[in-house]
Amino acid sequence: MITSSANSQIKQIRKLRDRKERHASGTFYAEGLRIVAEATLSGAKIETAVVSPELLTSDYGQQLVRDLVARRVPILEVSAEVFKGLALKENPQGLSAVIQQQWHALEDVQPTVGSFWVALDAVADPGNLGTILRTNDAVGGKGVILLDYSTDPYDPTAMRASMGAVFSQHLIRATFSDFAAWKRRTGIQVVGTSGEASLDYQEMSYPDPLVILMGSERQGLQEHHWQICDSLVRIPMVGRSDSLNLAVATAVTLYEVFNQRRAKDVSQSSASHPSKGIIKQ
């Protein structure tokens, strides 16, 4: 059992708080029973599990460690003190893990009917990014394309907010020009949202497959992004402010896409089963 925070492995793990280290190593540090369980279930590659037997008191947690051992995941036993030194949250549960990041390459993405993505330009707030991953998972979106200087989905705040969607959503990093080239090559339709657009987001019939392009928290969609968009839509507002939180604006748009596809599915299945009754077209 490791009892010193000066241990080289522990020092290496602590460095994963830093985005540069996460990037260089291609790994991240995830803490807590729920998130380690989600990582395991999703098939993420766990490099090392960190366990403090003293803190890991729940049956569920102990079963989780036995599962990890059965999967031949290396276990690093540490003292409660060392564990707390690594922990980001108060009252840590005694289980965490170093996990491999999983990225997909934009050039490998072949848009197929029924699929949609969210592209985020320079999203800055990890909580927003995590929440967008969670919402996109909820509506059946494939993944998130992070353009240019976006925050890190493996930031602890983003991971927590994603409620496990960081493991199920396809994560893609790209420059805007790579994104533009991919759009031209595949012909995928891109719909941007902007307060300056004239088309109401509900008046749009969303194409399939589709990318929804969202601007950053500070600046919204920039003019140089407009040219890549096949359509621009506006979410109406009547209050004092002219903007919504980014995760909220993304969710409102995604639910419109989702609702249109649901309505279409129902109307198609109703056409083949007319006994289901009158359904709005």
The residues that touch its own copies, with contacts defined as CB under 8 A, are 127, 131, 134-135, 137-140, 161, 163-165, 168, 202, 235-241, 243-245, 247-248, 251-252, 255, 258-259, 262
State the nearest-atom distance from the C-beta of 253 to its own copies, in Å.
10
Beta bridge partners of 119: 145, 213
Q: Give the closest residue to 211 by CA, choosing from 103, 104, 106.
A: 106
State the nearest-atom distance from the C-beta of 42 to its own copies, in Å.
8
- Judged by CB, which is closer to its own copies: 95, or 247? 247
- Judged by CB, which is closer to its own copies: 76, or 254? 254
∠ CA 130-139-101 to the nearest 5 degrees? 40
Question: Which tokens go with 202?
Answer: 């509900």
74 preceded by cis ω (within 30°)?
no
State the nearest-atom distance from the C-beta of 138 to its own copies, in Å.
4
Q: Residue 26 and residue 281: Cα distance in Å, rounded?
A: 47
State the nearest-atom distance from the C-beta of 194 to its own copies, in Å.
15
State the nearest-atom distance from the C-beta of 114 to its own copies, in Å.
11
Q: 212 by DSSP, 3-state: which? A: strand
- Judged by CB, which is closer to its own copies: 121, or 256? 256
- Judged by CB, which is closer to its own copies: 93, or 135? 135
Sign of CA dihedral 257, 260, 266, 271: negative
Question: DSSP letters of 107-176?
Answer: GG----TT-EEEEEES---HHHHHHHHHHHHHTT--EEEEESS---TTSHHHHHHHTTHHHHSEEEEE-H
- Judged by CB, which is closer to its own copies: 79, or 157? 157
- Judged by CB, which is closer to its own copies: 64, or 161? 161
State the nearest-atom distance from the C-beta of 198 to its own copies, in Å.
16
